[in-house]
Amino acid sequence: MYNFQTDWLAKWAKYTPNRMFIREHQRDVQWTYSDFNKRTNAVAEFLVNQYKIKKGDRIAIYSKNKSEHVILFLACIKIGAILVPLNFRLTPRELDILINDAEPSIFYYDEEFADHIPKISAVQKVKSVQKLKEIEKFLLENSIQSDFRPSELFSEETPVMILYTAGTTGLSKGVIITHKMLFWNSVNTGLRLDLTSKDHTQSFAPFFHTGGWNVLFTPFLHHGASHTLLTHFDADLILQLMEKEKATILFGVPTMLQMMADSPLFNKVDLTSVRYAIVGGAPMPIPLINIWHQKGIFIRQGYGLTEVGPNCFSLHQDDAIRKKGSIGFPNFYIDAKIMKDDNTECVPDEVGELWLRSPVVTPGYWRKQKETAEAITDGWFHTGDLVKKDNEGYFYVVDRKKNMYISGGENVYPAEIESFLYTNNAIKEVAVIGVPDEKWGEVGKAYVVLKENSSLTAEDFIKYCLGNLAKYKIPKYVEFLKELPKNDAGKIDKKKLLELHLNSINKSNN
């Protein structure tokens, strides 16, 4: 018997077959729920017959946002396979790590990145390496028919995706995303955002991010709503589309909303259809909140992470100014507590580590039992984020995961960058911190101690990083020191380094 429980696309294809599901702006083509479901069935049938894909097999995709991502993801749901979206901004060295870990049965790549493939050694181990164009025909040909039916029913614990996050140890970890997580994240999101099947948004967050899939895309699919898919962020284009398509909700990081506010189109377009903008990734400055409020669009800030949801906290738009800096309350089906090092709970205004318990917590990291056991105890996920709660129950993030910083919405983990930089024979010690930046929110700054009789210029440093680290991970600033400040435990004191940076900024301004 065909199981619609996990196949939301098939369900809406029966309920509202003629309602628009997705429109891709790049190729100016759109599909109804019924049409896209037929095409997805055909892709599922093709993958099973052509490549013998079965439950649990991984399918990697290396491309910017395209409808091929969506149809492969929904085909995986029908088969029981697992989609692995790869970060197209990573270097071949970084991609090798992810591909070796995921061990996909198929590696699909966009021809835009064809020149990169010979440089990715792990691809040689993949059974089938195919151009993404192979899937295009299922999207664009007129007459697509398929009688595909799943060979078995899938439980809520069946994995549907692996999303890689940079680890604080410098090693990437694959977060397992299950049907259960998608369902409860959608319920939480729908309850807090009042989602309906009439909602429409523009999707431009990259699909290698949980934000690209799970902030709005999968909740919208669950609610029978619609999207316009963009390959990348374009402030002017998005403003135009929001007006033309009467978008109801916008999702972005503060840098994106700043770029949109700076656009000459911002004061010209009619955005009265937009209920509010969902903002994540970093705190949004109050002046920028005011600009959007004056436009009539309320800001709802939140907090989330790939391993939990990601829609974990939401600050109601009415509290955007009164509770500035707050992430609000936990969403409906999420329990939260703030814990001290001795595993006792914090009182109001006391800082501790945020622990979360919910059906949206990941079952773990792909093939990393030790890291999973360290992160989850008795169903509680230890976020590593330091937070506090005020007397009214509003939560505030005090510090991020072990010095992680956010550059243009991208999580950057200094440990990963430092691990690579130590491969340079001239470097004795190095520490990377996030420092304020007007455009990107934060950027990296590297403090370097050279080995005796070694030489390295700032230009040499940047050249060494190019091609080995994604551009957003390469520190914008480099400063050479005779020694790095240490704390009483002998560890590098990054707070002192940040003070050093801020003091140098203040001196240059005076």
Quote the CA–CA distance of 109 and 132 in Å, as a whole number: 5
> The CATH number of 1-154 is which of 3.40.50.12780, 3.60.15.10, 3.30.420.40, 3.90.1300.10?
3.40.50.12780
pTM above 0.85, yes or no: yes
Looking at residue 4, what is its pLDDT?
44
* Average pLDDT value for the chain: 92
Please state the φ and ψ torsions of residue 180, each to the nearest 5 degrees: -60, -45
477 pairs with which residues across the strands?
445
Q: Is the dihedral of CA 205, 407, 301, 402 positive or negative?
A: positive
Residue 55: how many CA atoms within 13 Å on its side-chain side?
10
Residue range 179-402 forms a domain whose CATH class is: alpha beta
Whether pLDDT at 386 is above 70: yes
Whether pLDDT at 43 is above 80: yes
Looking at residue 169, what is its pLDDT?
54
Domain ranges of the chain: 1-154, 179-402, 405-509
**Residues whose CB is less than 8 angstroms from the CB of residue 351 and which lie 6 or more positions away in sequence, other chains included:** 338, 386, 387, 388, 398
Whether pLDDT at 109 is above 90: yes
Please state the φ and ψ torsions of residue 210, each to the nearest 5 degrees: -60, -30
For 411-450, what is each residue's pLDDT tens digit? 888 878 988 898 899 998 899 999 999 899 999 999 999 9
Calculate the alpha carbon distances from 469 to 62, 111, 171, 322, 413 in Å: 17, 22, 13, 40, 12
DSSP calls for 385-396: EEEEE-TTS-EE
Calculate the alpha carbon distances from 189 to 16, 45, 228 in Å: 22, 32, 19
For 274-293, what is each residue's pLDDT tens digit? 999 999 877 788 888 999 99
For 289-331, what is each residue's pLDDT tens digit? 999 999 999 999 999 999 998 999 999 888 988 988 899 999 9
1-154 matches 179-402 in fold: yes
Whether pLDDT at 3 is above 70: no
Higher pLDDT, 265 or 143: 265
Query: What's the average model confidence in pLDDT over 458-483?
Result: 95
**What CATH number was assigned to the domain covering residues 405-509?**
3.30.300.30
DSSP calls for 19-50: SEEEEETTTTEEEEHHHHHHHHHHHHHHHHHH
Among 47-56, 129-138, 186-195, 391-400, where is mean pLDDT lowest? 391-400
- Determine the residue type at 438: E
